[in-house]
Chains A and B, each alone.
Chain A
Amino acid sequence: MTNAASATHRIGRAIFSGIIGLVMLLALTLVGGDAREVFHLPLPGPVIGLALLAGLVLLIERFHAWTARHLTLHLVPVSRLLVSHMGLLFVPAGVGIITEGEALRREWLPIVAAVLGSTLIGLAATGWLMHQFSPKSSETGS
C-alpha cells in the first residue's frame, strides 16, 4: 500500500517536473521567435531558443549553482524524451515526399545520387576535420 502510494507520488512528481520543463521549453521557443522578428536574425525561432537556453543555464550556473541545478532537474527528463524521439516529430514532414513523385520520376538519378553523395561527403568532411584538430587529451570516448 505504501509502496503503491510512493510509486504514485513519484510518477506524479515526474509528470509535474516534465510539465514545468516543457513549459520552459515552449517559453524559450516563443522568446526565440520574438527575438528572430525583432533582431531580423537569419535563424529560425527554435534554434535561437536553443542558444538562449544553453546561454541562460550557463549564466545562471555561474551566479547561482543551486538554481541552475534545479532548473536542469526539471529540464533534463523532458529534454531527453524530446531529443531521443525527435525522429518521430519529423515523420509528418517526411511523408511529404509522396507529393514529390513527379520530380522524383523525372530526375530520380541526380536526386538520389546527390542526396546520398553530398550527405556522405558532408559527414566525412566534418568528422575528419574535427578529428584532426581536436585536442588529443579529450580522445577518451564519449
Chain B
Amino acid sequence: MSLHDSAQSLLWIVVTVACYFIGLGLRRIARHNALANPVLVAVVLVASLLLATHTPYAVYFRATWLLTFLLAPATVALGVPLARNFAHVRQSLRGVLLGLFAGSITSMVSGVLLVRLLGGSKGVALSMLPKAATTPIAIAVASQIGGEPALTAALAIVGGIVAAMTLRAVLGGISVTHGHAMGLAAGTAGSGIAGAHAALMGDAPAAFAAIGIGMNGLLTALLAPLVAALFNF
C-alpha cells in the first residue's frame, strides 16, 4: 500500500466516521426519534459525497476496509450480553423459538410474495428472500439460490435500517413493549443494524438480539432453498 493509498484510506474512514457523528448529533437534536437514524444519515451523506466527487464505490469500499473488518469482532462481541443474560433466554425458550421460526419464515415468504405481486423480476425476488439474515449469510444464500449478492447486501442493510426505525412503532402497535421481545424481533427481522439499535435499550435486549441474529442466520441458510423451491424458482 503506497503512502497515497493510506492517506486516501484514512480520509474516507474519517469522512465516514464524521458523517456517522453528524447522524448521532441529528438523533440527539431529534430527541432520539427513531426516524433520525444515524446509519441512514451517514449512508446518504457518504453516497452524496461519492457522487459529488466522482469517486467510484469500489475505491471507497477498499479505502474503508478497516470499518468493514471490525464488523467481525463486533458480531462476536454480541456473545458477551448473551452470556450475561443466558438465564433470561433459557426462561423464555419456547417464545424465543416460536418467534424465531415465525419471523424467519414470514420475512422470507412475504419478501418474495410482495416482489412478485408487484411485478418484480425473479432475480429481485430471490435477492429479497434472504435479506433479513445477517449480511454475510444473506450474500452467501443469495448467490446459492440465484439472487444478486450485491443487491441482497444493499437490501439487508436497508432492511436493517427500516427495522431499527420502526421497531418501537410496530411492536408498540401490537402492544408488545417488553425489551426481550423487542431485542429478538430486531435481531431476527433486522439483524446487526436493528440489533445494535435494540442494544441501546440495555444488556438483556442485546442478548435477545444476538440470539435473533445468529439463529435467523442459521434458519435462513437452512430454509431459504426450500422457500425458493416452494415458489418454483
Contacts and interface: CB of A to CB of B under 8 A. Distances in A.
A29 B77 CA distance: 10
Contacts of B199: 83-84, 86
Overall SS of chain B's interface: helix
A96 B16 CA distance: 13
B60 A95 contact: yes
B169 to A, nearest CB: 9
Interface in A34-52: 42-47, 49-52
Contacts of A107: 115, 119-121, 124
Contact of A82 (B19, B65, B73): B73
Contact of B159 (A75, A119, A132, A142): A119
B67 interface: yes
A139 B74 contact: no
A99 B181 contact: no
A50 B99 contact: no
Contacts of B227: none
Contacts of A61: 83
Contacts of A42: 137, 218, 221-222
Interface string A95-135: 11111100100010111011111111111111111111111
B19 A83 contact: no
Given A114-B118, A125-B102, A88 B160 contact: no
Most buried by B among A76, A116, A124, A138: A124
Interface string B92-116: 1011101110111011101110111
A91 to B, nearest CB: 5
A95 B57 contact: yes
Interface string B61-80: 10011011011111111111
B1 interface: no
Instruction: Please classify how large the interface on chain B is, using the bins under 10, 10 to 19, 20 to 34, 35 or more.
Output: 35 or more
B4 interface: no
A90 interface: yes
A113 B117 CA distance: 10
A79 B164 CA distance: 20
Interface string B151-172: 1011101111111101100110
The 8 closest A-B pairs by CB, nearest first: A142-B179, A110-B120, A126-B103, A53-B79, A122-B189, A130-B99, A122-B107, A46-B75
Contacts of A79: 77-78, 80-81
A87 B195 CA distance: 9
Contact of B128 (A28, A47, A90, A118): A118
Contacts of B68: 89, 92-93
Contact of A111 (B65, B120, B217): B120
A111 B212 contact: no
Most buried by B among A28, A88, A121, A123: A123
Contact of B57 (A45, A54, A96): A96
A122 to B, nearest CB: 3
